[in-house]
Amino acid sequence: MTNIKGPGIFLAQFMGDTAPFNSLASICKWAASLGFKGVQIPSWDVRCIDLQKAAESKTYAEEIKGIVAAAGLEITELSTHLQGQLVAVNPAYDALFDGFAPEGLRGNPSARTEWAVQQLKYAAKASQNLGLNAHATFSGALLWQTVYPWPQRPAGLVETGFTELAKRWLPILNVFDENGVDLCYEIHPGEDLHDGVTYELFLDKVNNHPRACLLYDPSHFVLQCLDYKAYIDHYHERIKMFHVKDAEFNPTGKQGVYGGYQGWVERAGRFRSLGDGQVDFKTIFSKLAQYNYTGWAVMEWECALKHPETGAAEGAPFIQQHIIRVTDKTFDDFAGTGSDENFNKKILGIN
């Protein structure tokens, strides 16, 4: 077994226009002061990184690593959540997701998709240049608007949707494979990959591609009423990234999973700061240790109530306390009596 690395912090929710949140150097110093040991970098934020340049220049990639190292930190992974979303967008969501793309591509879905695919390919090479072995993204969605089957889904619609999704992602997965990096899909409502069943549908279509891996985030499963502990038992071999994020689900006589179009504070299911929700992190960290998860435990802060800086200050020690220092011996070794093959046969009554 191997000790989980951490604590890390995903920088996306903390970047801003004022110090220390407005540059990679200053936000890394802030994160280090709170006790974090690694940072997960949002690749779309130019205050953190120029993704294309990191892909094309090893010298620039080393400069980025140097900025992070100067604060005493490591880069855990890069993220292309926003670009990954744009690999597959149903026309129903075009206007909403156009904001994720450069201004010149808005209103041009085909050009937007082409840009997103190239961004993912840059991310694969940039990750290699940075010495990383895993990458975070979203799958995008062609089918999400049909998640509740009314009106009735036409026969073959899901099959066609996942065939197309795989067609778009296979070339990207191959580039990640060429660069020795696992592409980890965050299983998330709003994406076509939003639970175990949909992940398996996708995995089948990409021929069980070895790089089609998982970012495990239990908070999204709490809000779906999915067994997030058993999920680890099913998919631990594919889990290569871990977002430590809390959530709670408190249904009422008026609303449940769908939330009644309410804002985050009023929803039955909402994200919370670490320790304020319902996620059983002791069991999660135990299972990941049991299954020899070798990656990082990265806090992703999202909370409807608590200030982000408070959540971050509490998050580092919370993760550190949950990381299990795995044992290198069995607890009852003191009572061992020694053994050899002849002794074992004697115990079993084998001549």
Q: What is the mean pLDDT of residues 260-274?
A: 97
CB 31 within 8 A of CB 71: yes
Rounded to whole angstroms, the Cα distance separating 198 from 143 reads 11
- Cα(20)–Cα(31) distance, rounded to whole angstroms? 10
Domain that holds residue 132: 5-348
Domain count, the chain: 1
Per residue in 299-351, pLDDT (tens digit) is 999 999 999 999 999 999 999 999 999 888 777 776 677 778 888 888 889 97
DSSP count for the chain of H helices, then E strands: 13, 10
What confidence tens digit (pLDDT) does each residue in 146-156 have? 999 999 999 99
> Quick one: the chain helix, strand, coil %, rounded to 5?
45, 15, 40
Rounded Cα distance between 184 and 95, Å, is: 26
Mean pLDDT, rounded, for 198-208: 98
How far apart, in whole angstroms, are the C-alpha atoms of residue 56 and residue 63? 13
What is the mean pLDDT of the segment spanning 175-190? 98
- Give the CATH number, domain containing residue 26: 3.20.20.150
Confidence class for position 268, pLDDT limits 50, 70, 90: very high
Mean pLDDT of all residues belonging to the chain: 96
Q: What is the pLDDT of residues 101-126, one digit of tens each?
A: 999 999 999 999 999 999 999 999 99
2 pLDDT band, cuts 50/70/90, is confident
d(CA 181, CA 82): 19
Q: What is the pLDDT of residue 167?
A: 98
The model carries a pTM of: 0.95
Instruction: State residue 255's pLDDT score.
Output: 98
Q: How confident is the model at residue 89 (pLDDT cuts 50, 70, 90)?
A: very high
